[in-house]
Amino acid sequence: MGLAVTVLSAVFLATGGFLFGYDSGIITSTIALPTFNAYFNRPSDTITGGIVSAFQGGAILGTIINMLFADMLGRRWTIMIGALISVFGSSLQAGAVNMAMLIVGRFIGGVAVGQLTSTIPMYAGELSEAKYRGLLSGLLQWMLSWGFLVAQWLGYGCSFNNTQFSCELSTLSTSHLFD
């Protein structure tokens, strides 16, 4: 495989890191939005902690699922399944009509991230030439940082919008479109 194809494949795959960064970062600004608090009737600190930690719990489950099934499915299928799970989790989060739906959406989104972040660096390394392997595998972490940056700026921008749209926009994970 040529260098250009290798690099483009690795960059495309590294957007799974963007998903992790975005989903991890967006919730911090979302739960602080007045529209979020009004829509969900001012959730307690315990509920807010559940919203945030459900994502990490899902990521743990996604990684465990990968340990059991990724070799059987193969890297490409694991990444495709992770992307589909991400779409489903993101849809639940963006369309949440109650707190339970939001928490379940966060958990499902976390499952996708657990699958993607434990598969993508390995797959990128397998695709690349030996001399570029570390660099291309490291793109996942670089994209994670970009996802977090985008999430923080989007959350900041949404803080100036006083409509319900600001809350829905910030919980919608658009990063699954890149997987």
Output the tens digit of pLDDT for each of the chain's 179 residues.
577 877 777 777 777 778 778 888 888 888 888 888 888 999 999 999 999 999 999 999 999 999 999 889 998 899 899 989 999 998 998 888 999 999 999 999 999 989 988 888 888 778 777 887 777 777 878 888 999 999 889 888 877 877 766 555 555 543 333 33
> Any idea which architecture 3-178 has in CATH?
Up-down Bundle (1.20)
Instruction: Give the pair of three-digit tokens for residue 17.
Output: 């890191």
Do 92 and 25 contact (CB within 8 A), yes or no?
A: no
Q: Which long-range CB contacts under 8 A does 35-39 form with residues at least 24 apart? A: 35/161, 35/162, 35/163, 35/164, 35/166, 35/167, 36/167, 36/170, 39/164, 39/167
CA separation for the pair 116, 70 (Å, rounded): 11
Q: How far is CA 63 from CA 25, 29, 72, 101, 156, in A?
A: 20, 26, 15, 22, 31
Helices (H), the chain: 3-30, 34-39, 45-73, 75-94, 99-127, 133-158, 164-171
pLDDT at 165: 62
- The domain segmentation of the chain, as residue ranges, is 3-178
Q: Say if residues 62 and 112 touch (Cβ distance below 8 Å).
A: yes
